[in-house]
Structures are given as structure tokens and as C-alpha cells.
Chain A
Amino acid sequence: MKHIVIVGNGISGVTAARFIRKHTDFKITIVSAETEYFFSRTALMYVYMGHMKFEHTKPYEDSFWKKNNINLIKQYVNQVDFKQKRLHFESGDVLDYDDLILATGSKPNKFGWLGQDLIGVQGLYSFQDLESMENNTKNINHAVIVGGGLIGVEMAEMLTSRNITVTFLVRENSFWNIVLPRQESELINRHIREHNIDLKLSTELKEIIDDGNGRVKSIITNSGEEISCEFVGLTVGVQPNIDFLKNSDLKINKGILVNEFLETNLPNVYAIGDCAEHRTPPMGRRAIEQVWYSGRIMGETVAHTICNKQTPYHPGIWFNSAKFFDIEYQTYGIVNANLGDHEEELYWEYKDGKKCIHFIFDKLNHKLIGVNTFGIRLRHEVFDKWLREEKTIDYVLLNLKQANFDPEFFNNHDEEIINEFNIKFPEVNIHAEKKKDTFTSLFSL
């Protein structure tokens, strides 16, 4: 029987294992040095904040793996012998495979700053990072976070939950504005500051200063300002975790190079998730996409191929989500930081400045291109359908109620959004459907 070995027990590797098991009785082994069992990386922050215990981050009970006959090995892979189809572990043990799936994830970027390896300086990606953050932030008062992305803002929330004050250095002139349009980015700037975070925009790290005992004492910014701190969070992005594959026959660039079937240059070797770099990315997608959802789709895709149903990687309509302190963010379709030439926009913001919705659509034919929403939940199924069917903004606005996913009794802003549209595009002027009568809505018929 074929032996499938998966290196990495994150969402990509585990999804691959689950779907291979679903379709075949191949022998499956998952190797990880990080933790014995699969856990949700995205939930590490909640463990630190005391919302959960680590055991709560495990999506499957420990008995799940045995029940589904998936072997788990906790080993660190030192080297892969692709010719012999054999893994060499740090312990000296070896493991032979027939098919190998590399799903080794990422590691935090470090850009060679002076002092970047001092005690109290770290990124946040792995379970071990969480443990060291726990140790590094015991009884401290002030921290500096470098890098304005999703992990940076999570780290700021984590530290704030322990009453540690935070200085947040962001290279760009507005938070995450390489991804978010100006309006949303500014909304989040305000929200971060509302949590008493000292958000320093257009500021970069120059060096980290040693206190004389190998611990961080302070940092110096590119403007020469010295900020004393006891902890430095480096959250300037991640890169594929593939050092152990360098100097092998495997073709790698930034990540492990794969074709549309997630196959590498070597037979029987696949790469999925954060560590994979697509030679020809799907339309509108990046070559390396470090996103939970993409990893999950790649895991399922490669499982099909391994189970003899060769399947190309088709991620479908782009979607993503995040949460910035208290504000939830969802996006469907393509919303770029800057408006394209052929694009038109509708931006509506609630008067409290904490909710907004941003539609991007085609200037000429009004077809929806993408939507960002903050503080309002939208129905994935509906927007996926509308984007596939290329509905117009007029249609979308008129049917917005169908796409609302906020809990019952929440304030609905559809009318205000339509008004905003009618003010901006008086020549179109749309009218929303009438409200259901009380009886019908009471029984949700």
C-alpha cells in the first residue's frame, strides 16, 4: 500500500491527510516537530489572552487520528533524500515514503537588524513562539512591535490584554495600506489608537539595543528616536520555512516551486500551503499566499491528485477575513489598495467610524469586482455567487439584505448604503425592496 508522508501538521497538511483518508486507505503519516497534534495557529493569540487553553485550539480530539488511521510522528526533519525517497530526522531515525507532501509553513522574517537575536526579541508564528512570548513578557511594562500587518495588530491586542503598553512601528504612512484602501486603513489607524497603542506611522526599526546582559533594552527608529522597551515583536511578514530543503534537487525560489497540480520538479513530491510558490499563480492571486483558506484548498486539491484524480489548484473567488481588536473584517473578490483605471467605488462608513463597507465595481458596466466590510458580517455564499455571476452593483445593493449575516436584531444599514450610492450616482438612483410585514418577518417565512 502506498505510504503518503506529509511534513507539517498545519491546516494544509492536515486537510490533505483528511481528504486522502476520505478517498483511499493509503498509509498516511504526518510529521511535525512543532506539536504532537494539529492546532489552530490563528488561535494562539487567544491562549495568551486567556480566552482559551491550548487544548481548545485543537480542532480534533486526540482520538480522531487513531480512529482515522493517520499516524502522527513528532520529529524534526533534517534532510530529505529524494532519490531514496527517505526522510532523515534529527534524532537519526529515517522514514520512507512513496508520495511526499511538503507543508512546512512559514517562519517570521528577520531583516538582519542589529540586535535581532537578543532575548526579548521575537516573531509570532509557532507554538514555540507563543511559549517564548509568555516567558519574554512576564512582568514587563512596555513593548515595541515592528511591522504593520495582521500579526502585528494581533500581537498588540495580546500585549494590551496584559496591560503592557505598546509602541507600534509601521513603515507605511497608514496601517496595512499596501492591502487596504485608504479609508479602511484610516479607520483601523483610529481603532488601534483608541486602544492606547502608540501607533507610529512612517517609522522603521533601525536597531535593537542590548541591556548588557543579552536582553533588549530599547530600540532606535530610523528617525533616531530611542524607545526603551522590554520586548520587541518582529512582525514584518513571514517567509517559507524551507531551509532544510536548500542544496537539494528540489527547485526552490522564495518557496518550493509548484505547478498548477501542486507538483514540484521532482516526481511524487508535492508542496502546499505557505511554503509553496506557484510558478503560474491563478488569475489575480499571489505566487505565495500565506492564508489559512488557501492552505486548506491546496490540501484538498493535492489530496485529489494523490488519489488518482489529478486536479488543478482552482481557489475560486478570493475571500479573506481578519479581526483588528474589536472590528471584524471580511473581503470577497478583489479590492486593491488603490482604485484601478476601469474601477469605480462606493464607500459607506457608519457615523461611529467603526463600521464601513467598500464596493469596487466596473466603471462602465457596473459589474461587482470586490467588497470590503468592517463591522458588518456578510454572507459568503451570496457574495461568492454574485461575483461568479458578475452581478452589477445596482443588483447587489438592491439585494443586500440577502447577503447580510449580522445576528438577529442588529441594526441594518442597507438603506443608508443605498442612499450613499444614490447621492454619488444620482443618474442611476435605485430603490430598495420594501420591508416584509411584521407577521412574515416574525415567523421568518
Chain B
Amino acid sequence: MKLIKNIGLIIFITGLVIFSSTTFMGEFHPTKNNIHQSLSVQQYENIGVQLENIFIGKTYTSPTVISSEFTKIYNSVNENLKAEQQWDKVMWDNPQIVVYKLIKSSATGLFIHHQWLMFLLTFGLGIIGSLMYIIPDVILLGTLGIKNNQIFQSSATNRGWIGWISFVYLVVFYIVLYFFPAILSNQILIVSPISIALSGNPSSQWFLYGLIYCTVMTVMAVRMFIKYRHSKYQILRTGTVLFFQIAFAFLIPEVLVRFNLPYMDFKNAWPLDYDFFFDWNINGLISSGNIGIFMFVWGIVLTLIIVPVFTYFYGKRWYCSWVCGCGGLAETLGDPYRQLSDKSIKAWKIERYLINSILIFAILMTAATLYTYISGNSNLMGISTFDIQKSYGFLIGAIFSGVIGTGFYPLMGNRVWCRFGCPLAAYMGLIQRFKSRFRITTNGGQCISCGNCSTYCEMGIDVRWYAQRGQNIVRSSCVGCGVCSSVCPRGVLNLENRNESGRFGKPLEINDNGLNISNT
């Protein structure tokens, strides 16, 4: 069994190495036609000739070279145009996106003729290897129950060297994905047949990301099913969050596109879905007829009615650990890192300031957006709405939720984004804290202060602080993953939706009849 695991690990790493190194492979023959078709009329006028002089007739063996030469020309021409103040000629597109089209169309080698082979060597090996690593645990973990042995003695899960390598890999991946997608051209080409099959369109970097996301979640969900096979709560939760990711975040939007309908993730609620009220989205929806209008209304109803009502009845867990994609990744890929979250009072303080500030930022940005949309005035109090949107998208949408949110899993735990950054979590957190039936009930005086609950709380809640006082846990950040209850060795904690009265519970104290267990 150990052998199977080790072979699996080697296969997985091989797949990962091939996947990453495809960046430096391939054969590209840019032609005049390629260049022409990849550029807009304006871009072609600006740089077409220069590009033709450099690229045509040459063979490139990696997209990175094309990308860097292209970017050089693009930027230098652009700078000249700006210096000469020829604003009508200046190109505003991200050169990374433009050059990606060129690279894709000029590809000839491996990634065009052997896409399925390459898919097998990357995704295939990754999936097979990781499953070989994971599935033997059915036997190796032994009897049913919590098996957290050696978590703090392993360098992968205790910020050791494996943890640091994972951290660097994830951060680099997200930076490349968001800011230098041309580097991923080959990887995008590999998954193109799947994209065409689903939506009819060739793949983009976001399709690649979506496919990786679903694959990783599925594989790591298998790990969750095995690890928590004694807990129906964990199994149902993992299965549900996986379903919502694959169906709602991935398949349905792609299929919508196939039928010429707007791309829409029906479960993604504003303000997490921060560009829902951006003019291009509203216009896109409204111009798509009845179904578009329905989508627009659905988005508003989701945020204003469904989210608060469900949060009242079940706490924010219904979204954060049963539906949400970010939560889904955190609960599958991120589960091995949950114990790394900071439980200090200081971290709690930072969390409250940060997450609520981002909620306010999201609200202000959306207010400015709607003001501009309705009034047509592109500035609100002297600040350009476009700039606000752009900085939100860059700082929160890309850096925080992506690079930090997932990249920092191996160092700061699996809920960095959800805990410190997500504006939707902040919104639901306020409801959960002040008007909800959800709480984690502490079972009388049974707590022995062992600290398993706090250690394994991914949101950094010091669960034990409440449990040892005999008080219930009512915290805005709790995503209701249920792991505190699972790891408790004495059956002290239980996630419950009950009457609001007495949901905080009274601290445990003695009275004339001995220990007063009564919680209300």
C-alpha cells in the first residue's frame, strides 16, 4: 500500500512537471496571416509591419520568447505614441491577451497534433498519480475515525520545505494566470478540445483555470470522502460543494455560451461576484432577452433575499462550505492546511478590520458603478469609476482572492481569502452574528480544553475559548465546516440551527446545586 502511494506520488509529480514545463515547449511558425488575424485594425497599423519583420519565417520553440518579443515591441510603440500624445492610436489592450491569440494561431507542433496525448501526460498523470496516492488511505487509515496523525510532524502540512515549495508554486501559478497568461499558451491549447466540445469556443486561460479547479477539487474531494468517511455531515457537504462547482461554476456557464446566452454562474452572489453590476455585464444581460433579464433579476434576488434568508436559517455555512467555489477549493485542496490558520486575538482583530473594509470598498465601488451607469457621468466626486473598478479588480479580485487567497494555503491555512477578504463572507457574517438561528452548541461541561477544535478551525476561531466556558460559539467568521465537531474527542461541539433566544449560552458556573449545566 505504501508502495502504491509512493508510485502515485512520483506519477503525480511527473504530471505536474510536464504540465509546468510545457511552457517551454512547442513549435510556432508565425505567418503574415496569423499576425493579421490576431491583431485589431488599430494594432495592426501600429505594430503589424514590425512584427512581420521579426516573426515571419522563424521557428519558435516556446511561447515565452514570442511573448517577450511581442510585449517589447507593443510597449515601446505604445510609449512613443503616448509621448507624442497620439491618444487615438494608443493601444489599451493587455499585450498578454493579444499575443496569446498570435501564439495560439501560430502553433504547429505537439500541442496541435497531439492534444489528447498531452492532456493525458499532464492532467491524466496528475489525476492517476494523486488518486493512487489518496485511495490506499481507505486501508492505511485503518478503523473509522479522526486520523490526524503526524500532521504537525510533516513538512508539507507544518510549513516545512514542502509547504514552502507548494507556496511558491501556487503563488507563481496565480501571478502567471492573472498577469502573464501568454506563458500558459500551451497548457491552454491542451484543453482546447474540451472547451470546443462544451461551449463551441477555443479555450481561454479562464477555461484552463476552471478545468484545473474542478479537477483538483474532484480529486481532493475523494481524499475528503476517505478521510471523513465516518461523518455523514462531511461527506454530504463535500459532495454538495463539489456539485455546485462543477455544475454551476463550470458546466452551466460554458453550455450557456454554446446557446449564445450570457455566461452566468447562478450561485455566485454579489459582492463576491463584484463585477455583476458593471455596465458590460448589465448591458450583456439586458440585451439577451427574457433569459438575460431573468439572470439579472436572479442576481439581485440572490444577494438581497436568498442570501440573508438562508443565512438566518442555517448560518453562512449554507454558502461558504456547501455552495461556494472558493470555499469548495478551500475544503478540498485546502483541507490539509486548515491547522495553519492564526488563532491569536491579534489575527482576529486584523480580520475584522480587513474584511469589513473590503465589504465597504465593494459597496462603494458598486455604488460608483451604478451612479455612472445611470447618470452617464464617468466620475464620482472627482474619482473615475473606471479607476475604482480597475483597482478593485486588481487588488481584491486578482491579488487577494487569487494570489494570496490560494497561494498562501500552505502557510496561513486554507481560508485566507474567506477569512480576511471575501466581501460576501463579511456580509453574511454580519447576519450570522446578529440575526441567525445558527450556532455551535457547547455540550454542558464536557470540554477538557484539549484544543483540537481551535487547532483545526480553518477560520482561526479560538473555539476552545468558548467551549471551555460552556458557552456556545457565535462568530461572524464561522463557515460551519463542522470539523471542530468532528475532531472533538469528547463530543462537546455540535452545529445547530435552533431558536435565537439563548443562542450565545451562559458561561458555566456552579450554584447551590453544583455545576449549573443549563445553557439557557
**Chain A contacts to B: CB under 8 angstroms:** 11, 40, 42-43, 46, 49-53, 56-59, 61, 63, 161, 191, 194-195, 292-293, 296-297, 300-301, 304, 311, 314-317, 319, 321-323, 325-328, 330, 377-381, 384-385, 388, 405-411, 443-444
Contact = CB atoms under 8 A, between A and B. Distances in A.
User: Top 4 closest A-B pairs, CB basis?
Assistant: A316-B514, A380-B444, A326-B145, A377-B491
B519 A381 contact: yes
A51 B146 CA distance: 10
Given A330-B491, A385-B518, A409-B232, A325 B449 contact: no
A131 to B, nearest CB: 15
A381 B519 CA distance: 7
Interface string B458-491: 0000001100100000000000001001110111
A384 B153 CA distance: 40
B309 to A, nearest CB: 10
Contacts of B146: 326
B443 A379 contact: yes
A284 B444 CA distance: 21
5 contacts: A43-B448, A57-B450, A304-B510, A316-B510, A405-B491
B233 interface: yes
B375 interface: no
A58 B148 CA distance: 19
Given A296-B445, A315-B514, 19 more contacts: A11-B449, A42-B450, A43-B451, A46-B148, A50-B148, A52-B152, A194-B143, A292-B448, A300-B510, A319-B444, A321-B446, A377-B443, A384-B517, A388-B513, A407-B482, A407-B494, A410-B233, A411-B232, A444-B497
B231 A407 contact: yes
Contacts of A314: 510, 512-514
B345 interface: yes
A59 B518 contact: no
Interface in B332-348: 344-345
A146 B445 CA distance: 31
B474 to A, nearest CB: 16
B46 interface: no
Interface of B: 142-146, 148-154, 230-233, 236, 313, 344-345, 437, 441, 443-446, 448-452, 454-455, 464-465, 468, 482, 485-487, 489-491, 494-498, 509-510, 512-519
Given A194-B143, A300-B510, A409-B232, A321 B451 contact: no
B143 A43 contact: no
Contacts, number: 162
Contacts of B486: 407
Given A50-B152, A51-B152, A409-B236, A59 B449 contact: yes
B143 A51 contact: no
B450 A46 contact: yes
A61 to B, nearest CB: 6
Given A11-B449, A300-B509, A56 B454 contact: yes
Nearest to B494: A405
A311 B509 CA distance: 13
B495 A50 contact: no
Nearest to B237: A409
B513 A57 contact: no
A63 B344 CA distance: 10
Nearest to B142: A195
A297 B450 contact: no
A57 B152 CA distance: 13
A223 B443 CA distance: 45
A120 to B, nearest CB: 21
A300 B515 CA distance: 10
A258 B510 CA distance: 19
A43 B510 contact: no
Nearest to A47: B152
A294 to B, nearest CB: 10
Given A315-B515, A381-B518, A57 B451 contact: yes
Contacts of A300: 509-510
Among the interface residues B148, B448, B455, B465, which one has the most CB atoms of the partner chain A within 10 A? B448
Contacts of B489: 323, 328
B450 A40 contact: yes
Contact of B452 (A43, A59, A325): A43
A406 B491 CA distance: 8
A363 B386 CA distance: 80
B313 A443 contact: yes
Nearest to A379: B443
A154 to B, nearest CB: 10
Nearest to A409: B232
A318 to B, nearest CB: 10
A228 to B, nearest CB: 25
Contacts of A407: 231-233, 482, 485-486, 494-495
B455 to A, nearest CB: 5
Contact of B490 (A50, A194, A323, A326): A323
B512 to A, nearest CB: 7
